[in-house]
Structure 1
Amino acid sequence: MELPVIDLAPYLEISSTKSIDSNLKNICSEVSRTLRETGALLVKDPRCSVEDNDRFLNMMEKYFNMPDDFKCLQERPHLHYQVGVTPEGVEIPRSLVDEEMQEKLKAVPQELRPATPKGPDRKWRYMWRIGPRPSNTRFKELNSEPVIPDGFPEWKETMDSWGYKMISAVEAVAEMAAIGFGLEKDAFTSLMRQGPHLLAPTGSDLGRHGQEGTVFAGYHYDLNFLTIHGRSRFPGLSIWLRNGQKVEVKVPVGCLLVQTGKQIEWLTGGDCIAGMHEVVVTSRTTDAIKLASEQNRSLWRVSSTLFAHIASDAILNPLGHFADSSLASKYPPISAGEFVEQELAVINLKGK
Structure 2
Amino acid sequence: MEIPVIDLTPYVDAVSGKFSCDQLLHPELKAMCSEVSRILREYGALLVRDPRCSTEDNNRFIDMMEKYFEQPDEVKRVQERPHQHYQVGSTPGGVEIPRSMVDLEMQKKLKQLPKDRQPTIPTTPDLKSRYMWRVGPRPTKTRFQELNSEPVLPEGFPEWKPIMDSWGLKMISTVEAVAELAAIGFDLPNDSFTNLMKLGPHLLAPTGSDLGRHGEEGTVFAGYHYDINFLTIHYKSKFPGLSIWLRSGEKLEVKVPEGCLLIQAGKQLEWMTAGDCKAGMHEVVVTKSTLKAIEAAKKENRSLWRVSSTLFSNVASDAVLKPLGHFATSPLAVNYPAMYAGDYFEKELSVIKLKGKVGA
TM-score (norm 2): 0.97
Pairing 1:199-348 to 2, within 5 Å after superposition: 199-348=204-353
| Secondary structure, aligned partner of 1:138 | coil
Pairing 1:20-169 to 2, within 5 Å after superposition: 20-169=25-174
* Corresponding residue of 1:197: 202
Question: Are 1:187 and 2:198 counterparts?
Answer: no
Deviations 1:182-236 (A, max 9, x none): 1000000000000000000000000000000000000000000000001100000
Which sections of structure 2, spanning at least 5 residues, go unmatched?
A: 17-21
Deviations 1:121-154 (A, max 9, x none): 0010000000000001100010011111110000
Are the equivalent residues in 1 in contact too, given 2:11–2:24 (CA < 8 A)?
A: no
Are the equivalent residues in 1 in contact too, given 2:79–2:89 (CA < 8 A)?
A: yes
**2 CA distance for matches of 1:252 and 1:333?**
38
* Corresponding residue of 1:3: 3
* Corresponding residue of 1:171: 176
Aligned residues: 352
Q: What amino acid sits opposite 1:122 in the alignment?
A: L
Are the equivalent residues in 1 in contact too, given 2:232–2:312 (CA < 8 A)?
A: yes
**1 CA distance for matches of 2:43 and 2:331?**
21
**1 CA distance for matches of 2:75 and 2:94?**
17
Shift of 1:105: 1.0
Question: Are 1:14 and 2:14 counterparts?
Answer: yes
Shift of 1:23: 2.1
Mean alpha-carbon deviation: is it higher for 170-179 or for 17-26? 17-26
Are the equivalent residues in 1 in contact too, given 2:229–2:266 (CA < 8 A)?
A: yes
Q: What amino acid sits opposite 1:11 in the alignment?
A: Y
Are the equivalent residues in 2 in contact too, given 1:237–1:279 (CA < 8 A)?
A: yes
Are the equivalent residues in 2 in contact too, given 1:74–1:84 (CA < 8 A)?
A: yes
| Secondary structure, aligned partner of 2:334 | helix
Q: What amino acid sits opposite 1:339 in the alignment?
A: Y
Give RMSD over aligned pairs.
Answer: 0.8
**1 CA distance for matches of 2:343 and 2:77?**
28
Are the equivalent residues in 2 in contact too, given 1:215–1:279 (CA < 8 A)?
A: yes
Shift of 1:18: 4.7
**1 CA distance for matches of 2:91 and 2:176?**
27
**2 CA distance for matches of 1:160 and 1:97?**
35
Are the equivalent residues in 2 in contact too, given 1:14–1:20 (CA < 8 A)?
A: no
Mean alpha-carbon deviation: is it higher for 6-15 or for 26-35? 6-15
Mean alpha-carbon deviation: is it higher for 33-42 or for 10-19? 10-19
| Secondary structure, aligned partner of 2:132 | strand
Deviations 1:307-347 (A, max 9, x none): 00000000111100111111111100011000000000000
Shift of 1:108: 1.0
**1 CA distance for matches of 2:101 and 2:23?**
47
Shift of 1:19: 4.9
**2 CA distance for matches of 1:32 and 1:200?**
25
Mean alpha-carbon deviation: is it higher for 266-275 or for 95-104? 95-104
Q: Alignment identity in percent?
A: 70
TM-score (norm 1): 0.99
| Secondary structure, aligned partner of 1:188 | helix
**1 CA distance for matches of 2:102 and 2:228?**
15
Shift of 1:15: 3.1
Are the equivalent residues in 2 in contact too, given 1:313–1:337 (CA < 8 A)?
A: yes
**2 CA distance for matches of 1:86 and 1:113?**
28
Are the equivalent residues in 1 in contact too, given 2:24–2:30 (CA < 8 A)?
A: no
Q: What amino acid sits opposite 2:57 in the alignment?
A: D
